[in-house]
Amino acid sequence: MRYMTAGESHGPEEVAIIEGIPAGLHLTAEMINEQLHRRQVGYGRGARQKIEQDEVILMAGVRHQMTLGSPIALNVHNRDHNNWADIMDPNQPATPENSTRRVQRPRPGHADLVGGIKYGHQDDLRNVLERSSARETVMRVAVGAVAKALLAEVGVDVHGFVANIGPVYTDMTQLEGMADLEAVRKQSEQFETRTLDAETDAKMRELIDQTKQDRDTVGGTVEVIATGVPVGLGSYVSADAKLDSQIAQALMSINAFKGVAFGEGFAMQASFGSQVMDEIYWDAERGFYRGSNHLGGFEGGMTTGEPIVVKGLVKPIPTLYRPMQSVDIQSHEVNRASIERSDTTAVPTAAVIAEAMVAIKLAEAMLDKFDSDQVARFKVQVAEYRQAVKEF
């Protein structure tokens, strides 16, 4: 399985092509749109989300709600393009009339300056920010929705939620009282901040409101949990085969992500081995299993069969309505950075995007290991493998 996305933030369309999804997977636009809607909502989002109404068009690879085994083409229309049609027109040369929104004062923390230097866009940094915008992640969530549909066929579930926004932290001990991942989903999805309880949600919303009033932005941490993952995805035999490293790369590829940790993560640096290694047990019903999950479901770059737990650190959004110092790329005069329409925080949305990326990497790993031509054979092979693991 592999995929590619294309599109600019204010261009006409966002598109994706997925190759390698088996034939026979039940897939509808509504299944993908449900995930796209989750990406759009979330406390702290800006005015752009009031313009867009992200809905996917299945353009190829699906017939009568079933995948064909051929490449799947997905399309989401950018409604805001109507307000940018002249500025983003691919068929007309640049003129003073269609270049009214030039960006020449790069934003600290954004791709503007480095991208302009790398690709030679000295006349207008909009050529950088249009693609480097997080708008691109709409298609990653769409691809992730397809991956989640495949994983669900074999009992693998993936969900992301918010661990903290700025100094306001979710009480993670609540997870211990939730029976399964569906309970976590039901709890977190009822709050606009995707936290786990009403009190923390209120505190987070209050913080976001104050941050917006201060014309600032705020970051946080998201957590993704995947359950039902078989033992032995990934491999220890080479560096690029380690699945945890692949997931880490996938999360770091999301806009504004600056750190990734599995299980207890960086807290383990102050621990002793006896405190963080997951002791091994066996019984006839379960086979081998761990008595804890401090390592987040991985050993040696391979899945252990325990839930995958991965955290992603999200920096504050670099576009500030109280812009920081910058330098004009043409005159080299000191000035304030350009202002683009932006969110106060994207952490609740980042949880959905991270969830999609974990689902994509798990689907890729599953299709590498099991039959990737037909869903029916895929399911049979996974079931047989699970039984073999249990009997080891």
DSSP string, 174-200: GGGG--SHHHHHHHHTTSTT--SSHHH
For the segment 377-382, the average pLDDT, to the nearest whole number, is 98
Q: List 13's β-bridge partners, or say none.
A: 77
| DSSP H/E element including 360 | helix 347-369
Only one residue has tokens 């190759």, namely 19
**CA neighbours within 13 Å on the CB side: how many for 212?**
17
Supply the mean pLDDT for the chain.
Answer: 95
Q: What is the pLDDT of residues 150-166, one digit of tens each?
A: 999 999 999 999 999 99
- Cβ contact 197:208 at 8 Å: no
| Pairing relationship of beta strands 298-299 and 302-303 according to DSSP bridges | antiparallel
CATH number for position 26: 3.60.150.10
Q: What is the pLDDT of residues 317-341, one digit of tens each?
A: 998 888 999 999 999 999 999 888 7
pTM tops 0.75, yes or no = yes
φ/ψ of residue 265, rounded to 5:
55, -130
Burial status of residue 282 (CB atoms within 10 A of its CB: 0-12, 13-18, 19 or more): exposed
Q: DSSP for 121-134? A: --S-THHHHHHHSG
Take residue 176 and report the two structure tokens written for it.
């211990």
Query: DSSP class of residue 346?
Result: -
Q: At what angle do helices 347-369 and 137-152 cross, to 10 degrees?
A: 50
Q: What is the pLDDT of residues 95-150, one digit of tens each?
A: 888 888 899 999 999 999 999 999 999 999 999 999 999 999 999 999 999 999 99
Alpha helices in 238-316 (DSSP H): 243-252, 273-276
Q: Domain of residue 314: give its range.
A: 2-390
Q: What is the largest CA-CA distance in the chain?
A: 75
For the segment 34-55, the average pLDDT, to the nearest whole number, is 84
What pLDDT was estimated at residue 48?
A: 61
What pLDDT was estimated at residue 50?
A: 62
What pLDDT was estimated at residue 47?
A: 61
Alpha helices in 52-99 (DSSP H): none
Q: How many domains is the chain built from?
A: 1
